[in-house]
């Protein structure tokens, strides 16, 4: 398979489906033509601020149309997007700005204060800020204001502070940049670990697009409808799991993505019913919240066919109750920030066992080994799951000691040690057993 630039299939979708809805956010619809125009203008605006290929741009945003525009615009000009959770305070944020060497932060006005507190220590050049409702239609903004439903943050003026909307006034012809999908970085994501601060994981374009293409072209082949499907994005897009599905099911395929700013259950169920959503990704807690909602029986969820779950073990009782409610099972996805998406339940295999994390994607290779000797265990025996792929990055940013603990060379290949104990079945399925007892990790993202 030829290495692809992260942006390639999105641009192809824009050309093929220009008038299709790309994103539905707070009820407003953005077509592929409109989204591409905004992405290109924002990319030109970033370039005008001096952002060049390889420069780091930190996104400190919740799920929003601005998040998608900024992410794609950074990719368009060959810069490196640094995705961080908007719940971090200035303490963690300062560390990640320094560690990633970001010089521009894009944030909501509600967390602008945290960013401004880091300027003196980090040497930030620009803060680009936006209100959550900035790109929503004027009538909706007025109504939200009348009912005091618009979150606002205080923004101090200054030469380094720029409104997000100003960059959207730029020329829609960004500079052409030559991208090497293997050598050039696409993103830096931060993951928790045994240290006091998150670890930076850098990914190149091909490492990312390889598993996105696996999902689209292999795992969902024959089930995903190009140009007519609907996906609901609930999980935060600064996680590798949510970001990958957004591209694999939505933006790379000409499909509509219903983007939820917060995981509010009634809003989610209403959106599924209104837009006839077929594809969904969640975590076990979300599926449980939906099932325990007093009003969930009043919503029509009959359009839902393909529901995936990741991030933690799915309780059997949740799986069974969901099957009774919706009529279809919950399938499994497994991955990590370090390795990307790794395993998926295969739709052709029928109803999955919630303890099975599925089968490895074609671009990912796995070993199940004795954690002490690193020798491969027999089928049916329990061991630690190791993962590698041809072009994924195999180190933590600026952390050689953490890299040495978490990555190991076997037969000339470098594998990531997940710290998860699994076993394999004769049919190729991998079954989760438990997390390593001596490694504290946040839930897989």
Q: What is the pLDDT of residues 156-180, one digit of tens each?
A: 877 789 999 999 999 999 999 999 9
Q: State both tokens at 356.
A: 């099975």
Q: Work out how many domains the chain is built from and give that number.
A: 1
pLDDT-derived band at 144, boundaries 50, 70, 90? low
Q: Is the pLDDT of residue 413 over 80?
A: yes
The average confidence (pLDDT) of the chain is: 93
At residue 152, the pLDDT reads 81
Any domain includes 355: no
- Give the Cβ contact number of residue 142 at 10 Å: 11
Query: What are the tokens at 154?
Result: 């205080």
Average pLDDT of the segment spanning 54-80 = 98
Task: Assign 205 a pLDDT band (cuts: 50, 70, 90).
Answer: very high
Does residue 442 have a pLDDT over 60? no
123 Ramachandran zone, left/alpha/beta (phi>0; psi -120 to 50): left
- pLDDT for 437: 45
Q: What is the mean pLDDT of residues 233-251?
A: 97
> For residue 314, with 0-12 CB atoms within 10 Å meaning exposed, 13-18 middle and 19 or more buried, which class applies?
buried
161's tokens: 């502070």
Nearest partner of 389 among 214, 138, 135, 143, judged by Cα: 214
Which pLDDT value is given to residue 197?
Answer: 77
Residue pair 129/107 in contact (Cβ under 8 Å)? The answer is yes
* Predicted structure pTM score: 0.94
pLDDT confidence of 35, banded at 50, 70, 90?
Answer: very high
Identify whether 143 is part of a domain.
Answer: yes
Residue 155 within a domain: yes
Q: Please report whether residue 174 resides in a domain.
A: yes
Please state, in angstroms and rounded to a whole number, the distance separating the CA atoms of residues 199 and 408: 17
Strands 383-388 and 407-410, bridge-based pairing:
unpaired
Q: Which residues 6+ apart lie within 8 Å of 182 measured at CB?
A: 3, 204, 205, 206, 391
- The mean per-residue pLDDT over the stretch 64-75 comes to 98
pLDDT of residue 146: 58
Q: With a cut of 90, say whether residue 154 has pLDDT above it.
A: no
Domain span at residue 100 reads 28-191
Q: At 143, phi and psi to the nearest 5? A: -60, -45
Angle between helices 205-214 and 8-16 (to 10 degrees): 50
The per-residue pLDDT for 211 is 96
Q: Is 99 part of any domain?
A: yes
Report the DSSP pairing between strands 340-344 and 330-336. Answer: antiparallel
Residue 379 in any domain: the answer is no
CATH number at residue 32: 3.40.50.980
- Mean pLDDT to the nearest integer, 349-355: 86
Structure tokens at 387: 């993962």
Lowest mean pLDDT, pick from 66-80, 127-141, 207-221: 127-141
> What is the reported pLDDT for 435?
79
Predicted local confidence at residue 361, as pLDDT? 97
* Residue 427 belongs to a domain: no
Could you tell me if residue 145 is inside a domain? yes
């Amino acid at each position: 398979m030829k290495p692809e630039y992260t942006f390639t299939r999105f641009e192809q979708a824009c050309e093929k489906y220009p008038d299709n809805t790309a994103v539905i956010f707070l009820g407003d619809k953005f077509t592929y033509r409109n989204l591409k125009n905004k992405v290109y203008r924002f990319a030109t605006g970033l370039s005008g601020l001096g952002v060049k290929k390889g420069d780091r741009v930190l996104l400190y945003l919740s799920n929003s149309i601005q998040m998608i525009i900024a992410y794609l615009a950074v990719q368009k000009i060959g810069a490196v997007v640094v995705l961080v959770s908007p719940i971090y305070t200035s303490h963690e944020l300062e560390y990640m700005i320094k560690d990633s060497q970001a010089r521009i932060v894009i944030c909501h006005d509600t967390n602008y204060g945290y960013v401004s507190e880091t300027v003196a220590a980090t040497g930030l050049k620009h803060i680009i800020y936006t209100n959550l409702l900035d790109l929503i239609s004027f009538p909706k903004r007025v109504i939200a204001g009348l009912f005091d439903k618009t979150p606002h943050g205080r923004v101090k003026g200054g030469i380094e502070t720029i409104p997000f909307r100003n960059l959207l006034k730029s020329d829609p012809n960004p500079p052409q940049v030559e991208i090497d999908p293997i050598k050039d970085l696409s993103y830096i994501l931060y993951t928790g670990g045994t240290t006091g601060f998150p670890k930076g994981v850098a990914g190149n374009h091909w490492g990312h697009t390889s598993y996105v293409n696996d999902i689209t072209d292999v795992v969902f082949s024959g089930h995903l409808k190009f140009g007519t499907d609907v996906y609901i994005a609930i999980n935060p897009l600064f996680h590798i799991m949510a970001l990958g599905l957004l591209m694999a099911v939505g933006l790379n395929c000409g499909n509509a993505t219903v983007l939820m700013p917060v995981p509010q259950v009634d809003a989610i169920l209403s959106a599924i019913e209104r837009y006839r959503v077929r594809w969904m990704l969640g975590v076990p807690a979300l599926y449980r919240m939906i099932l325990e909602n007093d009003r969930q029986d009043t919503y029509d969820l009959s359009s839902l066919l393909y529901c995936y779950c990741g991030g933690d073990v799915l309780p059997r009782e949740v799986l069974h109750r969901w099957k009774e409610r919706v009529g279809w099972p919950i399938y499994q996805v497994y991955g990590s920030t370090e390795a990307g998406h790794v395993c998926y339940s295969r739709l052709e295999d029928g109803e999955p066992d919630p303890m099975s994390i599925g089968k490895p994607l074609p671009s990912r290779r796995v070993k199940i080994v004795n954690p002490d000797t690193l020798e491969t265990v027999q089928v049916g025996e329990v061991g630690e799951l190791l993962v590698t792929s041809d072009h994924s990055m195999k180190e933590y940013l600026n952390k050689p000691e953490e890299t040495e603990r978490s990555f190991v060379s076997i037969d000339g290949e470098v594998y990531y040690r997940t710290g998860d104990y699994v076993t394999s079945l004769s049919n190729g399925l991998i079954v989760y057993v438990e997390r390593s007892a001596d490694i504290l990790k946040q839930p897989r993202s």
